[in-house]
Amino acid sequence: MFLLGTMVNGLLIIIGTLLGKLLHRIPEQMKGTVMHGIGLAVIVLGLQMGLKSNNFLIVILSLVFGAVLGEYFDLEEKLNRLGNWLELKVGNGSGQGSIAQGFVTATLIFVIGAMAIIGALDSGIRGDHDVLYTKAIIDGFTALILTTTLGIGVIFSAIPVILYEGIIAAFATQIDQLIPQALMDSFISEMTATGGVMIFAIGLNLIGLIKIRVANLLPGIVVTAIIVAILYYFPVPIQ
């Protein structure tokens, strides 16, 4: 079942959120320190991913054009509106964070990154769910901590995670017939680096150092795919 890893990932996010809701009495100072710790870890992860690029100019171009598209369509605001709509429907009587903030922050953390794509590809191509199982454990623990600070909105991030990874896994079942291996390897490398920069930005947001509209950078992943495909079929030295 090619969706097994995806479903486990979504389930552990939900479980982690519910456990975090039960443990909401964790002292504020402790939660703040833990969140800073997670933020620092996310920053280091982003740096590691960002260095995976074989041609960093592709990453720069992807971020620039992705930011232009993201700002034009104002994706961050649309995600916040969706979160606010969820908040109106579900309510937030706990006084802990906002559903919009929890939903947007958790979605960006759980969706962006190499593990989501590579894990979903492994599930679809080889039926190997190990990467997504590992990601599920990490996401579940992170959801627990995020919920103690940002509230129940974190639970709704399971929906885009399941849709995102599920679509990739479904596509991957046919990927061998559609995309050459060399092109896929190149895309994964540059996507990892581009996503790493975004994850680095998420880490900065989590520690409160700066507020970057990371959701407005998300089109950069699509731009990466376009640039890599163009360079594969029409090789031009851009380094």
Cβ-based burial of 157 (10 A; exposed 0-12, middle 13-18, buried ≥19)? buried
Under 8 Å between Cβ of 160 and 111: yes
User: Whole-angstrom Cα distance, residue 219 to residue 189?
Assistant: 17
Does 111 map to a domain?
yes
- Between 80 and 187, where is the model more confident? 187
Q: What is the count of structural domains for the chain?
A: 1
Residue 207's φ and ψ, nearest 5 degrees, are -90, 0
Residue 133 lies inside a defined structural domain of this protein: yes
What percent of the chain stands above pLDDT 70?
A: 92
Determine, yes or no, domain membership for 59: yes
Inside any domain, residue 239: no
Residues belonging to the chain: 239
Residue 238 resides in a domain: no
Residue 139 lies in a domain: yes
Domain assignment present for 148: yes
- pLDDT tens per residue, range 10-68: 999 999 999 998 887 777 788 778 778 878 988 988 898 899 899 999 999 999 999 99
**Domain hosting residue 116, numbered range:** 4-233
pTM for the whole structure: 0.78
